[in-house]
Structure 1
Amino acid sequence: LGQTLPRSSGEPLGKMSCTSEIQAAFILTPFVTFFTGLIILFIFRLIWSIFRKWQTINGTGIILELFSPGSMGHNPLRRLYSYGLVRDHIKMLLSAQTFLGKVLVSPFICPCLFSSPVGRCSSYQDKTIPVDLIFNAFFSFYFGLRFFAADDKIKFWLEMNSIVDIFTIPPTFISYYLKINWLGLRFLRALRLLELPQILQILQVIKTSNSVKFSKVMAIVLSSWFTAAGFIHLVENSGDPWLKGRNSQNISYFESIYLVVATTSTAGFGDVVAKTFLGQTFIMFFILGSLILSANYVPEMVELLANTRNYTRSYGVVKGKKYIVVCGNITVDSVTAFLRNFLHHKSGEINTDIVFLGESPPSLELEKIFKCNLAYTSFICGSALKWEDLRRVAVESAEACLIIANPLCSDSHAEDTSNILRVLCIKNYYPKTRVIIQILQSHNKVYLPKIPSWNWSTGDNIICFAELKLGFIAQGCLVPGLCTFLTSLFIEQDKKIIPKQPWEKHFLNGLKNKVLTQHLSDDFAGMSFPEVSRLCFVKMNLMLIAIEHKSKHTDESKHEFRNHIVACVFGDTHSALMGLQNFVMPLRASNYTRRELKDIVFIGSLDYMQREWRFLQNFPQIYVMPGSALYIEDLHVANIEYCSMCAILSPPSKPSHSQTLVDTETIMATLNIRSLRIGSCAHTTSERVATDLNENYGKTKYRRIPILTELKNPSNIHFIEQLGGLEGSLKETNLHLSTSFSTGTVFSGNFLDSLLATAFYNYHILELLQMLVTGGICSQLEQHLDKDKLSELPESCTTFFSGRSRCKLGLLSLDQTILSDIKPRETFGQLFCGTLDNLGILCVGLYRLIEEEERNPENKRGVCQFVITRPANEFKLLPTDLVFCAIPFSTACYKKDSSSSSAPYEITNIMPNYLNHHLLPPKVCISRNWN
């Protein structure tokens, strides 16, 4: 094919100039190989499809017999099975799932790096040629394995890796035949660097997501540079073909890389330039490609390096500096709510750092929050399930570790399970770490005390959303407005509101109170609780509402639904359980006599209630009515016009693109119930006080059904305001500043997020809240309740049964109860001291009628009252005021000559009735045609 002559006398041995015929042979061979193979594969596929159609027409087994020699006598199916088995082994080998596969893949990148381009035409006297042949032999073997294992041969032939092999392997055989080696298109082998990240992952050299992303970006950039440098190296050393190399120049591969990198930066220095037309044209297009490459990948590389530096570091522990670790559901909403409530407890200087441990890098919005609070917050990317990450945040030195749950998750059980595993990992890492965890479902609480290092006395605590949320609603059913009263003790409002009405001023002043705990002085030793409470109230302007005391030691239901509680439940067969036992347990407290129990009627899907029933079947006077609160007929069947309270419970969380839609059912049910017009003659004993109030303003034509609505999204309060006709009063989108909240007709469990900070600063306050809402059930009682072995309670829990004689929370009238005997009672301070001295009753707040009712003669809205938390001592009382009271267990609230001794506002419940479980009735379902 032509003789090769030395290009200059000064060239080393083995370097020669290649004629145009030799160059054409090296360049055209890969193209011929590629298109010839592609045509053969298309022809074979066409023939195969024809045979398969013919096989379908004439029966099975023809093709196998056609390709099997009759003399061999082998079973065609056996041969086909063996062929598939071999292919599976090769696939397993190529996927590097076995040790042999890893050995095969590991050196694959080495030939890519060391099979360097040959700049000039070389003879076999060059010692690098045999090494290059060995590498290409390895590539040929690897290509054959991949071709044999491919399911679609044509698709495999068109893959980038296959094209690289086709254009780089055949020139090796040409060089062997001609005894001459030339670069040709073998610079395309640099594209194999794109496989480097995958190989490094297989060998477990890189493991983190950031390192994988960084390696992919680097592989793209380097392969682009090396491939472009190879093309420049080829055309500059060979010259333009139509000029037969007259404009060629000697340029090394390193100089080609230098030219490409300088071109990428668009700052060419001019010391190395392209002289050929092909080279200059390529540089023009490569500049455009470099701009696109830089725009796409350079910012990503900078971001990866920045994130690696900022969020993968370890927290620097400073001696004497306190800090807490917060992990779990780290989102914009959860972090904002936590910081808002955590910082409210420290209005002055913040001396506690907050370290957030998130499992993924923060979003831009979340990053902005951390930067705004940079003085006392920091974010570290990691998982509480890994000891390495716990070591990075120094959990062993933290004051506490707080675990935030996601109340809007689609699977609450999975959310609880993951958080419990976080607790287990933290306790295994350092058993003395104080842990405060949020739990969504109450029945998952039983797992936490079983952790060996769990210690209640050191401040380990559980905040159960379902237990507290439904407990609040249950208390609101017994004592209207009580859930607003309790909630107002644990929220703080920074927003300044100018009240327009006198009642708004009183309500907003009530929101300014705080709950604190303090060790009592020894000077109070020997004094009774009323004496100490009166002294604190008069001398210190403090209201002592509780003390912590550490102990040293059924009739058939008649189904006459009056003065009962209706609970509207939304759910189906696939919905997560909300834990209705937490709603029932406060209503079946041990200090509540059997005669005083109110019937509880659940309206909801029978499929869902059957799943909840196994947790409710041991409670008395529980009824289930299949139906929906969205239908008027079902509400009438449950005698809703005679109920003392209707609680509308939010359905379990479902994935939704709009936060507004999560409360659709509860808002529609509220609209449905408030649309009912009930005549005043249909009122029950629960409306006795309201009826007396109405008489002061004239006769009423209609009465309002008492409703307590739960909202998952507090911003949906404006819908409830519009439905209740109260939008003209407190026009606020803030739930706790709304008129509906002030009147005790709406509740949201979002404020429970603040209990994390509360529990950290003072877990006694959390114990007080749990006692007020749930009765402070001990963990041992919960475990035995879960096991249905209530008759075998341990002796250590028997002291808790003394709580049956504890005081009750109630709402009493000033005129028709024993409070009428208190004289004088013109101010709240006089009433407080008088009831405490004479009756031992503790007055804690007022439930007052809104003055606008005077201008509502038809009373279309019914009686509207609002809550005043801890009025001032000199606060003037009105005859229509109702009083929130803590009433001793043995005290009768109403006079003996009163005809209505079973007033609805007498009692609220604290603790479930464990001792009467053997008297519980069987399950009762109410049908729609019930009378």
Structure 2
Amino acid sequence: MANGGGGGGGGGSGLRMSSNIHANHLSLDASSSSSSSSSSSSSSSSSVHEPKMNALIIPVTMEVPCDSRGQRMWWAFLASSMVTFFGGLFIILLWRTLKYLWTVCCHCGGKAKEAQKINNGSSQADGTLKPADEKEEVVAAEVGWMTSVKDWAGVMISAQTLTGRVLVVLVFALSIGALVIYFIDSSNPIESCQNFYKDFTLQIDMAFNVFFLLYFGLRFIAANDKLWFWLEVNSVVDFFTVPPVFVSVYLNRSWLGLRFLRALRLIQFSEILQFLNILKTSNSIKLVNLLSIFISTWLTAAGFIHLVENSGDPWENFQNHQALTYWECVYLLMVTMSTVGYGDVYAKTTLGRLFMVFFILGGLAMFARYVPEIAALILNRNKFGGTFNKHGGRKHIVVCGHITLESVSNFLKDFLHKDRDDVNVEIVFLHNISPNLELEALFKRHFTQVEFYQGSVLNPHDLARVKIESADACLILANKYCADPDAEDASNIMRVISIKNYHPKIRIITQMLQYHNKAHLLNIPSWNWKEGDDAICLAELKLGFIAQSCLAQGLSTMLANLFSMRSFIKIEEDTWQKYYLEGVSNEMYTEYLSSAFVGLSFPTVCELCFVKLKLLMIAIEYKSANRESRSRKRILINPGNHLKIQEGTLGFFIASDAKEVKRAFFYCKACHDDITDPKRIKKCGCKRLEDEQPSTLSPKKKQRNGGMRNSPGSSPKLMRHDPLLIPGNDQIDNMDSNVKKYDSTGMFHWCAPKEIEKVILTRSEAAMTVLSGHVVVCIFGDVSSALIGLRNLVMPLRASNFHYHELKHIVFVGSIEYLKREWETLHNFPKVSILPGTPLSRADLRAVNINLCDMCVILSANQNNIDDTSLQDKECILASLNIKSMQFDDSIGVLQANSQGFTPPGMDRTSPDNSPVHGMLRQPSITTGVNIPIITELVNDTNVQFLDQDDDDDPDTELYLTQPFACGTAFAVSVLDSLMSATYFNDNILTLIRTLVTGGATPELEALIAEENALRGGYSTPQTLANRDRCRVAQLALLDGPFADLGDGGCYGDLFCKALKTYNMLCFGIYRLRDAHLSTPSQCTKRYVITNPPYEFELVPTDLIFCLMQFDHNAGQSRASLSHSSHSSQSSSKKSSSVHSIPSTANRPNRPKSRESRDKQNATRMNRMGQAEKKWFTDEPDNAYPRNIQIKPMSTHMANQINQYKSTSSLIPPIREVEDEC
């Protein structure tokens, strides 16, 4: 190289270099400052060559013995890498070639030896094989040693072991550290003189590369194919980064060079995160892979542009370089890949531009592919996939199952209702489908108490995310509108199994659609109703509510409003809505009774609470003194005056606010006896025992500490009490213990199983049978319809707290194919008939005397098979409108009845069946279908607008505000959604509701049904007969009877007290005519429900009173007394003949079994009324042919006739003869 002239003084402070030597632009300051003392002779030359000189100056310090000529040594660094790479590649190829040749030679030699061995014979073969065997043993030993080393190296670098994982993670971390050192050194010149002993970054980089060299050796030993290993990306990175570091130490120079290749290690970032068990989902792995590839390629290409642009082209003597920082190169490549190309930064060198030409092709393709995919993964990343963080001091529940806008809104509306006392609970929803916009907006409106997480309860990882182990409870919602209820129940049962398997102690409240599927929950070992686990069976409760409406119309509406949280809506106008909405605001609460009530009887406490505290107490939790009993705590509904309140008794109240119920807990006789305003009853200063007990739970809270746990099927056995109106008589019915008349639990009437053919009526047989006071069930269904569980409808109507002659006959009108599928669960119930046909046929409806029925129930099993929700209820609506449009000639029914020797009970005003205590007072005659009592089941709440064509309900009106629901003529399963939150806050509420609506299902009965799917008959024992002694719901008429004086302008409170004191009847509501408030008479017969009216509420004569009625051991005498003597004088001429028409059971003729013989007997049926009447009271299948059944000939009216005919001096009247047969 030619020198451009010497630089004078300064001890060589500046060096002049030849034109082909390039110096970095960052080193110009040192050289320019040190050339100030140059000789004047060279000034002109310096000025001429100033730009070129500045390009050729490199920094040199006094301490570094660098090349005095400023010679650049970049080629030495590059040569070290190239020699290492190609030298190793050559050695590997040479080794493979020699190995191949050796193998070929050995193969040829082996063949020659084998031929020689064959020629030499066996004796010589033994001698020649011995040294060969020794050689093979030596080779085997050598191979074993090499294999051991190879296996050891493989274990060291394998991520399957802890050592391997640590080593892999350490190598990656050190690679990132080396890359960071490169970023720091990129601000220095491309090549500079460095003192290894004083450069701290060079020392660290040297240590890193020594470790990389050792790791490279391990990888080389463990590699199966050394050639492919030599060509791997990680190996190439080591070739071009490790050797130059050693050259730097030897030359005391630093060359930035290809150290940017360390950025390629970022490609392994996703693997490292998987080794550390950080990345688990496919989306996260894919996202990290895309990001790592994109970023590593981007940074590596920027490093190459930084190198060539700051160095220049070699063929241009490195003079076309430009000063670019590394981050400017990063910016350049980004705008290039994105095809923006601002032009503010660009490549000047030929190498840089050539690289950009090829990079823009691959970079653009990568940018166009990777960036949208990365953006999609980030934007579509599950925003509901986090982990729930529990806030201190707040409980949380997990809600899963069927999560939709409707189910969630109904649940939140009830759970977060303002009437609840201090709901400090967070609600966590868990569902595997992300919410739609409407549902997400609902969650955002309740963001302070509601969170949503996407996942499945069948996945333990998702259960851990929502902290199920620390949750207060888990609630599972069911899809009430699914086409396959059994499949939906199976899904929820699997959810219960998964949750219980993850955390056996968690409390679970689940909805079930079918009653028979509840038995599967008992198979779960950790399912424990004592710990609060509950199953809310929607079919059981829905049909139970409807069944209770058959006994007291409108009760379904009242009970549904009681466990639903409704806000008070005040109406100033004197309309029926005003009184209805005042009752709607009442709910059911629990509270512990004050010690001031201890020792008082239940009616006394109930009267005191109603009159003074303005509270209605309907039941208590009674603690039995018998320690050997299976359940020491039982819920008793209106137990009677024999029971005394104990200390710490839990009461069940109907009130409008949780704060009102606190009065029962705060009441003190000494402090509050003279207070007339119940709002002033607050906690006083008296020292009461309740203050010291931990049972001072607020209303509507779960009774978890010492509170009672009731099974979902629990119906507590009630204590015996004195028979109604016959004080002191506690004798049990003297029944034949060899005759099975009740099921094994004694809770339901039972008969031997009957074949379905024996209960089928033809249309002509039904028309000839005078049906009256019965229940007509119109059922839509076919052979493919899902079963709705008609047993849950029949069981409450066959409760044993009714006498046999009080049971209403049930006639099913529908498809015989569908009813055959249901019959297996119905064949043990007496007084059941089937008319094959369709509920839309008026001929079938007239044949069953629908105008004389006590209730017509319209059900459909096809509702959930239709996609259009508006059409789901079309069959039920059409059937309801069809019945309401029918016209009846009342004389036909009366003539048929009179021709057979009696007047139907509903038509005879003197019949005790129409007495005030028996039930609802029937209309004198029904000539139009509008007056027929109907209750229609609906699936879609909005379809309620089609049931009544004359109402003015807005289509957007909530169900509970509509006239059909308020009147008790419509019922929708959606009202049962409120039971989930009600059960969570107080699990005793569910037990009380089930006790009221199911007729008394017990855990023993549910276990039996789970085993046999049918009721089992049992012999009458004192224990089973004692189960009959429980309350039932009835309706009390005020038109006449003992309460007639209060019916005209009297106060409801006076009626309440009189009924409670005199008859132990607990009144809790009114069923009033819709237009009773009008001054002008109205022909409308519609009634609506008023729940828990105040004391001063004025009564009208047409009111029907809902009451809890005690079981009457002496039904005939009791009703005769309540009905006064007005009935006896009019019917005295019939009494003796009626009694004589009942022959003994022993002389009862057998019925023919064939259809022909029954048709013959049908012709002489009008002459054999005695036998027909008598056959009402037999449970044997042979004597239960419906075609000869006379509905209610042996009614309470006839029982009274028997009592009048025989002596009535004894406490147990002769009505027992009749009961012996029933």
Q: CA deviation at 1:460?
A: 2.1
Q: CA deviation at 1:299?
A: 4.4
| Counterpart contact for 2:797–2:999, Cα < 8 Å | no
Q: Distance in 2 between matches of 1:496 and 1:657?
A: 35
Q: Distance in 2 between matches of 1:425 and 1:766?
A: 24
Residue 1090 of structure 2 aligns with which residue?
868
Q: Distance in 2 between matches of 1:451 and 1:776?
A: 25
Residue 534 of structure 1 aligns with which residue?
607
Unaligned residue ranges in structure 1 (runs of 5+): 1-8, 16-102, 104-127, 139-189, 235-245, 902-915, 927-931
Greater Rg over alpha carbons, structure: 2
Q: Distance in 2 between matches of 1:296 and 1:540?
A: 69
With over 3 angstroms needed to count, the CA separation of the structure-2 counterparts of 1:800 and 1:285, relative to structure 1, is: farther
Partner SS for 2:617? coil
Q: 1:711 aligns with which of 919, 938, 955?
A: 938
Q: Distance in 2 between matches of 1:707 and 1:823?
A: 26
| Counterpart contact for 2:521–2:527, Cα < 8 Å | yes
Partner SS for 1:415? helix
Do residues 212 (structure 1) and 282 (structure 2) align? yes
With over 3 angstroms needed to count, the CA separation of the structure-2 counterparts of 1:577 and 1:844, relative to structure 1, is: same
- After TM superposition, the score normalised by the length of structure 2 is 0.51
Q: Distance in 1 between matches of 2:945 and 2:1125?
A: 44
Choose 798-807 or 414-423, whichever is displaced more: 798-807
Residue 600 of structure 1 aligns with which residue?
810
Q: CA deviation at 1:283?
A: 5.9
Partner SS for 1:544? strand
Q: 1:564 aligns with which of 769, 774, 778?
A: 774
Q: Distance in 2 between matches of 1:716 and 1:823?
A: 36
Partner SS for 1:446? helix
Choose 438-447 or 225-234, whichever is displaced more: 225-234
With over 3 angstroms needed to count, the CA separation of the structure-2 counterparts of 1:134 and 1:349, relative to structure 1, is: same
Cα distance per residue 1:253-282 (max 9 Å; x no partner): x99998664445557675456998997799
With over 3 angstroms needed to count, the CA separation of the structure-2 counterparts of 1:673 and 1:790, relative to structure 1, is: closer
Aligned AA (1:573)? V
With over 3 angstroms needed to count, the CA separation of the structure-2 counterparts of 1:350 and 1:692, relative to structure 1, is: closer
With over 3 angstroms needed to count, the CA separation of the structure-2 counterparts of 1:656 and 1:280, relative to structure 1, is: farther
Q: Distance in 2 between matches of 1:421 and 1:269?
A: 64
Q: Distance in 2 between matches of 1:257 and 1:132?
A: 35
Cα distance per residue 1:621-642 (max 9 Å; x no partner): 2223333223333333433233
Aligned AA (2:1064)? G
| Counterpart contact for 1:602–1:624, Cα < 8 Å | yes
Q: CA deviation at 1:869?
A: 0.9
Q: 1:827 aligns with which of 1040, 1043, 1051?
A: 1051
Cα distance per residue 1:197-234 (max 9 Å; x no partner): 9x99x9999996xx323445666788899999999999
Q: Distance in 1 between matches of 2:865 and 2:926?
A: 48
Do residues 642 (structure 1) and 867 (structure 2) align? no
With over 3 angstroms needed to count, the CA separation of the structure-2 counterparts of 1:257 and 1:920, relative to structure 1, is: farther
Residue 628 of structure 1 aligns with which residue?
838
Residue 378 of structure 2 aligns with which residue?
301
The within-5 A match list for 1:404-423 is 404-423=477-496
With over 3 angstroms needed to count, the CA separation of the structure-2 counterparts of 1:257 and 1:132, relative to structure 1, is: farther
Residue 1127 of structure 2 aligns with which residue?
898
Residue 887 of structure 2 aligns with which residue?
677
Q: Distance in 2 between matches of 1:225 and 1:407?
A: 52
| Counterpart contact for 1:648–1:666, Cα < 8 Å | yes
Residue 396 of structure 1 aligns with which residue?
469
- Output the aligned Cα RMSD: 5.1
Q: CA deviation at 1:391?
A: 3.4
Do residues 472 (structure 1) and 545 (structure 2) align? yes
Aligned AA (1:520)? L
Cα distance per residue 1:400-442 (max 9 Å; x no partner): 2222222122222122222223323333333332221211111
The within-5 A match list for 1:793-872 is 802-820=1026-1044, 826-851=1050-1075, 859=1083, 863-872=1085-1094
Do residues 331 (structure 1) and 404 (structure 2) align? yes
The within-5 A match list for 1:348-497 is 349-494=422-567, 496=569
With over 3 angstroms needed to count, the CA separation of the structure-2 counterparts of 1:489 and 1:292, relative to structure 1, is: same
Partner SS for 2:556? helix
With over 3 angstroms needed to count, the CA separation of the structure-2 counterparts of 1:810 and 1:894, relative to structure 1, is: farther
Aligned AA (1:874)? E
The within-5 A match list for 1:686-697 is 686=906
| Counterpart contact for 2:569–2:581, Cα < 8 Å | no
Residue 517 of structure 1 aligns with which residue?
590
With over 3 angstroms needed to count, the CA separation of the structure-2 counterparts of 1:500 and 1:132, relative to structure 1, is: farther
| Counterpart contact for 1:492–1:512, Cα < 8 Å | yes
With over 3 angstroms needed to count, the CA separation of the structure-2 counterparts of 1:273 and 1:347, relative to structure 1, is: farther
Q: Distance in 2 between matches of 1:793 and 1:550?
A: 28
Partner SS for 1:579? coil
Aligned AA (2:402)? N
With over 3 angstroms needed to count, the CA separation of the structure-2 counterparts of 1:661 and 1:289, relative to structure 1, is: farther
| Counterpart contact for 2:456–2:462, Cα < 8 Å | yes
Residue 879 of structure 1 aligns with which residue?
1101
Aligned AA (2:417)? H
Q: Distance in 1 between matches of 2:357 and 2:1080?
A: 89
With over 3 angstroms needed to count, the CA separation of the structure-2 counterparts of 1:681 and 1:856, relative to structure 1, is: farther
Do residues 726 (structure 1) and 796 (structure 2) align? no
Aligned AA (1:888)? Q
Cα distance per residue 1:161-200 (max 9 Å; x no partner): xxxxxxxxxxxxxxxxxxxxxxxxxxxxx9xx9xx99x99
Q: Distance in 1 between matches of 2:1022 and 2:346?
A: 92
Residue 861 of structure 2 aligns with which residue?
651
The within-5 A match list for 1:127-146 is none
| Counterpart contact for 1:828–1:877, Cα < 8 Å | yes
Q: Distance in 1 between matches of 2:487 and 2:341?
A: 56
Choose 581-590 or 669-678, whichever is displaced more: 669-678
Aligned AA (2:951)? L
Q: Distance in 2 between matches of 1:337 and 1:701?
A: 38
With over 3 angstroms needed to count, the CA separation of the structure-2 counterparts of 1:858 and 1:361, relative to structure 1, is: closer
With over 3 angstroms needed to count, the CA separation of the structure-2 counterparts of 1:522 and 1:228, relative to structure 1, is: closer
Partner SS for 2:509? strand
| Counterpart contact for 2:489–2:517, Cα < 8 Å | yes
Unaligned residue ranges in structure 2 (runs of 5+): 1-72, 83-159, 161-219, 233-263, 305-315, 630-740, 742-750, 752-757, 760-764, 894-903, 1113-1117, 1132-1176, 1188-1222
Aligned AA (1:785)? I
Aligned AA (2:387)? R
Do residues 585 (structure 1) and 655 (structure 2) align? no
| Counterpart contact for 1:353–1:376, Cα < 8 Å | yes
Q: Distance in 2 between matches of 1:398 and 1:849?
A: 48
Residue 748 of structure 1 aligns with which residue?
972
Q: Distance in 1 between matches of 2:1005 and 2:922?
A: 43
Aligned AA (1:709)? T
With over 3 angstroms needed to count, the CA separation of the structure-2 counterparts of 1:441 and 1:459, relative to structure 1, is: same
Cα distance per residue 1:326-354 (max 9 Å; x no partner): 22222222222111111126546442222
Cα distance per residue 1:746-781 (max 9 Å; x no partner): 111212111111111111121111111013422221
Count of residue correspondences = 723
Partner SS for 2:1106? strand
